Amino acid sequence: MTLLEVLVAVAILAVVSVMAYGGLRAVLDADEVTAQRAADLTDLQRAFTLLGNDLAQLVSRPVRDAYGDSRPALDGTRPAYLEWTRGGWRNPAGQARSTLQRVAYRLEDGSLIRDSWYVLDRAQDTQPETSVLLTGLTDLRFMMLAQDRQWHDSWPIAEAGGAPTLPIAVDVTLNTGRWGTLRRVVLLPEGI
């Protein structure tokens, strides 16, 4: 082989290598984007599943707040905030605690936050356990379906008879930057 043939072979090898690297880089970038979107979708599904499970365990147990004031079993009096008492809190270690738990979901700084308390009737120094479920949210809205089949953006509502009731269902609407507007309606135990 002559020097010219070797130079041509090296040039061809260099061109093929650059093309192969460009293709490999495109595949690796696509894989990274796909993995990130899959992780985001998993977080979204986990948040909706946890929220749905918490709502499905709703029980009619009012609580006392840190100042001793009575709070309803389901408290949706503030925008982008819903708090309730849920049952079915497993206790596999047999700790001295109730199987009921107070949970709240709220929007803060673009994040969906879940708060949970180890006690129902709180003292002034009782702090919640806080978990960030989703980020990148622009809005969170809760709507409750009353026994008269009317949707309400605040709960509890004044109903005939004066006795507090629970809604039939809760409509949760999330506005996200990536997925747009997402909505889930959860049928509550009282509505079944």
* pLDDT over 80 (residue 171): yes
Own/partner long-range contacts of 161-165 (Cβ < 8 Å, ≥24 apart): 164/60, 164/62, 164/72, 164/73, 165/190
Look up the pTM and report it.
0.80
Does some domain include residue 24?
no
Does some domain include residue 18?
no
Rounded mean pLDDT, 3-8 = 84
Rounded mean pLDDT, 96-110 = 91
Domain extent, residue 124, equals: 52-191
* pLDDT over 80 (residue 104): yes
Does some domain include residue 36?
no
* pLDDT over 60 (residue 178): yes
So what's the pLDDT on residue 190? Answer: 67
Does some domain include residue 1?
no
Q: What is the amino acid identity at position 23?
A: G
Does some domain include residue 11?
no
So what's the pLDDT on residue 118? Answer: 87
Does some domain include residue 175?
yes
Q: Please name the residue that has the structure tokens 């049928």.
A: 187
Does some domain include residue 70?
yes
pLDDT in tens, 39-61: 888 999 999 999 999 999 999 99
Rounded mean pLDDT, 146-161 = 83
Q: Please name the residue that has the structure tokens 């707040």.
A: 65
So what's the pLDDT on residue 162? Answer: 60
Q: What is the 3 state secondary structure string of 136-180?
A: CEEEEEEEEECCCCCEECCECCCCCCCCCCCCCEEEEEEEECCCE
* pLDDT over 70 (residue 164): no
Q: How many domains does the chain have?
A: 1
Does some domain include residue 114?
yes
Q: Is 65 helix (H, G, I), strand (E, B) or coil?
A: coil
So what's the pLDDT on residue 163? Answer: 64
Comparing CA positions, the residue from 4, 27, 149, 154 lying closest to residue 82 is 154
* pLDDT over 70 (residue 138): yes
Domain with residue 82: its CATH number is 3.10.610.10
